Amino acid sequence: MVNYPRGIFSSIEHSISHQNKIIFSDRGMTLEQQINESNEYYLNHNIAVIHKKPTPIQIVKVDYPRRSRAVIKEAYFRQASTTDYNGVYRGYYLDFEAKETKNRKSFPLKNFHEHQIIHLQKCLEQKGICFAIIRFVTLNRYFITPASYLIRMWYSNSKKSLSLIDIINNSYEIKSGYNPTLSYLDGVDKFIIDRI
């Protein structure tokens, strides 16, 4: 038993009430937060070394109300960024983008920029494992979609978006969980098996 200012709280009652709770491991998290937590887990357990790439910016104006409270007031992107993440897993170079959509039935290809598609293409030419993690927010579904498929669809004049069925048929579905938050390397293992 634990004594609190407004009464007594039984540890048995506490454990019973927790057993009935529904746990939503990814509620309120963005896809990037889930990937960043997963990457930290993979790094801490010596599974993989994967990091989010910093976006190169040029700071133009900074306000210094106090020395410890500097605020960037104006900044510009130095150059177009490539993809969100890269790293090494089981001796393979990984390069990938993270995208979310609130659409229930399709993923708009305009969510990718041409420089990202070109970058993925160049990494594939160097035998990297390249893909996008696509999250359908309202459906709470996650897919690892191969860059080769995305590139082909990007350059197809007939496609403005990928239907959920297209993505299901051309991707690996992954689940969110606890440790790691998003076990996307399970999908990468399938890429590796397909390569062998």
79 is in an annotated binding site: no
Is residue 53 classed as helix, strand or coil in its secondary structure? coil
55 is in an annotated binding site: no
Measure Cα distances from 128 to 122, 133, 190 in Å.
9, 16, 14
The answer to whether 101 touches 107, Cβ cutoff 8 Å, is yes
126 is in an annotated binding site: no
What letters, b where the CB count within 10 A reaches 16 and e where it falls short, cover 105-127?
Answer: ebbeeeebeeebbebbbebbeee
CA 3 – CA 146 distance, rounded (Å): 55
> What DSSP state is assigned to residue 178?
S
φ, ψ dihedrals at 126, nearest 5°? -95, 15
Whether the bond between 54 and the residue before it is cis, its omega within 30 degrees of 0, is no
> What DSSP state is assigned to residue 10?
-
97 is in an annotated binding site: yes
- Binding site: residue ranges? 82, 84, 97, 116
- Binding site for Mg(2+): residue ranges? 82, 84, 97, 116
